[in-house]
Amino acid sequence: MVSLRALTPIVKWLIIAAVFVVVAGLSAYFTVNLLVGSQDTVIVPGLKGKDIVYCLEILSDLGLNTRVEGVEFDARVPKNHVIFQNPEPGSLIKKGRDVRLVLSKGPSTVVVPRLAGIPVIKGRIILEENGLRPGKITRVYDCDQPRGMILAQYPPCSATVKRGRRLDLLVSLGPEPVKTTMIDVTGIDLSKAMIKLDAARLSLGAIKNVFNADLADGNVIRQVPDAGFPVILGTAVDLVVNRHKKTGNETGKPAIGLFRYRAPQGFLNRHVKVLVSRPGSTITMLDEYLRPGQSVWLLIDRSQPATVSLYVDGELTSMEFFD
């Protein structure tokens, strides 16, 4: 075997140069591969204890996908925060890969919130926010709380229960209806009958026209309920009115219906708008401001089906159907 000492200086330098070129080439190759590969990989951040919204943002910025694999109760980790992640923090993975998360549902128990004194609609929302559900709802008259207000609950507030528990509620129907004696509006003109009904805090129901030449034109000849019967305030009273001019409606079907609205008591005027919709058309019957307690009466032609929509201060509050 020929030793390097036996080689000429030129051959020695040629060998050294060849070795240098090979080493340099290998170094460049691995360096390029490392740089190119590092552009497609990222380091997984630590997400435990973080909110899911934060996790979505940070993983999206890194080019990684977020996959929620489940939720579990955990008294130490707030709701919608990460309990477990895979891969672990500090792992090196390629972009486009999934990071799997397990989220917390919060503690398995919850302190019952106070619901008494708030509307039942708001109470349902509070129950849902706390992982609870409404149970049996009992309604009773109550002179101190308006209709729809929660009076009591079981379990009581501050009790600790499992999430998903149903709460029984006692809800107010408002003051018990006041009874009165039905007044007599027969034998007088329809317009006067309407005024008397309004003064007695009764409402006008259906109006039916009949023809009888022996009786005065426009007078009420029959009413339902009859005079003297006990009724609740606000009861609708149906009237039969004599009309000398035949209306073609002597078949017994009411010729017109009456729509009534009374603005609530208070200090502010109400912007009231009433729309009457029929097949193919909609008209505005009323568009004005009403004083507190002011009433309006609108006669609705029932020859065709009609829908009456009531808007108070820009919000639809009720709809009535006439046919």
Alpha-carbon gap, residue 160 to 228, rounded angstroms: 56
- Both ends of the chain: CA-CA distance in Å? 118
Query: Nearest-CA neighbor of 167 among 128, 195, 194, 206?
Result: 128
pLDDT in the model for residue 253: 52
Single out the residue of 235, 149, 148, 237 nearest to residue 186, CA to CA: 237
Q: Whose CA is closest to 320, among 303, 300, 294?
A: 300
Per DSSP, the residues of 83-110 read EEEESPTT-EEETT-EEEEEEE---SEE
Q: What is the DSSP letter of 45?
A: P
Residue 33 one-letter amino acid: N
201 phi/psi in degrees, rounded to 5? 60, 40
DSSP 8-state symbol, 216 = -
Nearest partner of 81 among 67, 71, 90, judged by Cα: 71
Q: Residue type for 323, please? A: D
Beta strand 256-262 pairing with 295-301: antiparallel
| Residue whose structure tokens are 């792992």 | 91
Q: What is the pLDDT of residue 134?
A: 92
Among residues 263, 250, 220, which one has the least CA distance to residue 238? 220
pLDDT at 67: 92
Quote the CA–CA distance of 275 and 286 in Å, as a whole number.
7
Per residue in 241-257, pLDDT (tens digit) is 998 865 444 445 556 78
Contacts of 76 (CB under 8 A, 6+ apart): none
CA distances from 265 to 43, 98, 112, 269, 290 (A): 66, 61, 36, 9, 11
Whole-number pLDDT of residue 195: 83
| 3-class state of residue 173 by DSSP | coil
pLDDT, mean of each 10-residue run, the chain (323 residues): 55 69 62 54 92 92 91 87 93 92 89 94 92 92 92 93 92 90 92 84 84 89 94 89 64 68 86 83 88 87 81 84 74
At 46-58, the pLDDT tens digits run 999 999 999 999 9
Model-level pTM? 0.41
How much is the pLDDT for 36? Answer: 44
